[in-house]
């Protein structure tokens, strides 16, 4: 390299003024300066992309009926999101189709960061399984999961079933006669899993619009039982009894309720944006979500409602949903 540079210097002495050959040092210096300038442009461009966002209200779509788990989640997060983002967060309801109507509404929304929605996993995957619902669960921009709950089998307070054993005994004595309500195809799958574990047959009653639509059916004794999550069982335990919960351990807010260890039903609530939402805006929303869920009042409310708090990065949320898509799409 030194020999080449000496040669270049000798040649340059015989060239007209203003005409010079470039040395490797010249090219290296130019390359470094170019790289630094490029990095600076990239950084400032990214900052400019997020700068000023948000500067108007954000719409928060709830794809299930008022009073359900998604509505509760949105209401818990709303004050913290507004404080962190500095704008109003307006909640709107787009219900039906086991959440498909609301998910579809988000899918078609402008991907500018001003429309977000609840997401319920694995419900969103199961709802879309084998159907043309107008959206692809794995393609949304996921902001983060915030809470999860295990499955719960509920009955009215005045039910003839005072225990899981009684429920199983009658179901076996009268196959397919006991009616169990649940939200859409997700409830059907989860009750089917429990029925297989218990060795019983039942009549499934699908409910559209969320748990908020199912509770009156139980309170009015229109069905024998309801398939839901431990959070709903906790919220309504003054009016409804829980016969069993899913998972290997007892739910703290439902003491004394037997758990079915082989029953792996778990529901997770999170927040997402339309597919293709700019990454810098998703990061802003994720940061706001983490601030909202870090509030001790919100955390205590989550635990009190029979839920387990969750906090995720954008990458963790995307991986979480990808795993659910892989598990439930086949």
Radius of gyration, CA atoms only, the chain: 28
**Comparing C-alpha atoms, which of 197, 46, 62, 179 is closest to residue 117?**
62
> Which of the pair, 259 or 208, is modelled with greater confidence?
259
| Distance set, CA 256 to CA 228, 242, 252, 261 (Å) | 18, 10, 9, 15
Least confident of 120-134, 170-184, 293-307: 120-134
> Which residues, in sequence order, are bridge partners of residue 204?
180
Strand, helix or coil at 86? coil
CA 44 to chain centre: 31
How large a percentage of the chain has pLDDT more than 70?
85
Q: Give me the mean pLDDT over the 224-228 stretch.
A: 96
**Model confidence over 79-90: pLDDT tens digits?**
999 999 999 999
User: CB–CB of 265/194 below 8 Å?
Assistant: yes
Q: Answer yes or no: is pLDDT of 271 > 70.
A: yes
Q: How many residues does the chain have?
A: 330
pLDDT number for residue 2: 47
259-260 and 240-246: which strand pairing?
A: parallel
**32 contact partners, CB below 8 Å, separation of at least 6:** none
* Highest mean pLDDT, choosing among 180-184, 235-239, 249-253, 274-278: 274-278
pLDDT at 201: 97
Q: How far apart are the first and last CA of the chain?
A: 61
- CA angle (115, 289, 234) in 5-degree steps: 100
DSSP 277: -
**pLDDT for res 320:** 95
CA 177/CA 162 separation, integer angstroms: 18
Residue 13 confidence class, pLDDT cut points 50, 70, 90: low
What mean pLDDT is reported for the chain?
87
Q: Distance between CA atoms of 188 and 57, rounded to whole angstroms?
A: 37
Residue 22 pLDDT exceeds 90: no
Please answer whether residues 265 and 151 qualify as being in contact, where contact means their C-beta atoms are separated by less than 8 angstroms.
yes
pLDDT at 4 over 80: no
The mean pLDDT value for 170-191 works out to: 94
Cβ of 20: how many Cβ atoms within 10 Å?
Answer: 14
d(CA 297, CA 300): 5
DSSP string across 6-48:
HHHHHHHHTSPTT--PPPHHHHHHHHHHHHHHHHHHHHHHHHH
Q: Name all domains of the chain by residue range, CATH numbers in brackets.
A: 58-146+268-328 (3.40.190.150), 150-266 (3.40.190.10)
DSSP at 59? E
- Identify which has the larger pLDDT, 55 or 7: 55
pLDDT at 50: 63
Strands 115-121 and 58-62 come out as parallel
Looking at residue 35, its pLDDT comes to 44
């Amino acid at each position: 390299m030194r020999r080449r540079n000496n040669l270049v210097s000798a040649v340059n002495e015989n060239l007209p003024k203003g005409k010079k050959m470039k040395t490797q040092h010249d090219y290296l210096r130019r390359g470094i300066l170019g790289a630094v300038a490029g990095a600076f442009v990239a950084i400032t461009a990214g900052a400019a992309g997020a700068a000023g966002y948000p500067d108007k209200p954000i719409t928060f779509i709830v794809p299930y009926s008022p009073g359900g788990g998604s509505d509760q989640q949105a209401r818990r997060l709303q004050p913290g999101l507004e404080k962190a983002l500095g704008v109003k967060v307006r909640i709107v309801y787009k219900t039906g189709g086991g959440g498909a109507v609301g998910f579809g509404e988000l899918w078609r929304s402008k991907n500018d960061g001003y429309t977000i929605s609840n997401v319920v996993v694995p419900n969103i995957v199961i709802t879309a399984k084998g159907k043309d619902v107008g959206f692809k669960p794995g393609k949304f921009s996921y902001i983060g999961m915030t809470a999860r709950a295990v499955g719960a089998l509920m009955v009215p307070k005045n039910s003839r079933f005072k225990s899981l054993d009684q429920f199983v005994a009658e179901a076996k004595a009268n196959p397919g006669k006991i009616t169990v309500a649940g939200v859409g195809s997700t409830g059907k799958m989860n009750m089917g899993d429990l029925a297989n574990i218990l060795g019983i047959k039942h009549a499934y009653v699908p409910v559209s619009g969320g748990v908020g639509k199912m509770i009156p059916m139980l309170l009015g004794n229109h069905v024998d039982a309801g398939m839901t999550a431990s959070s709903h069982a906790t919220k309504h335990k003054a009016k409804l009894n829980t016969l069993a919960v899913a998972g290997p351990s007892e739910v703290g807010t439902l003491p004394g309720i037997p758990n079915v260890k082989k029953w792996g039903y778990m529901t997770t609530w999170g927040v997402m944006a339309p597919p293709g939402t700019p990454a810098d805006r998703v990061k802003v929303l994720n940061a706001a979500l983490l601030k909202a869920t870090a509030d001790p009042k919100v955390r205590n409310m989550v635990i009190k409602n029979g839920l387990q708090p969750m906090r995720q990065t954008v990458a963790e949320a995307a991986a979480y949903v990808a795993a659910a898509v892989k598990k439930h799409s086949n």
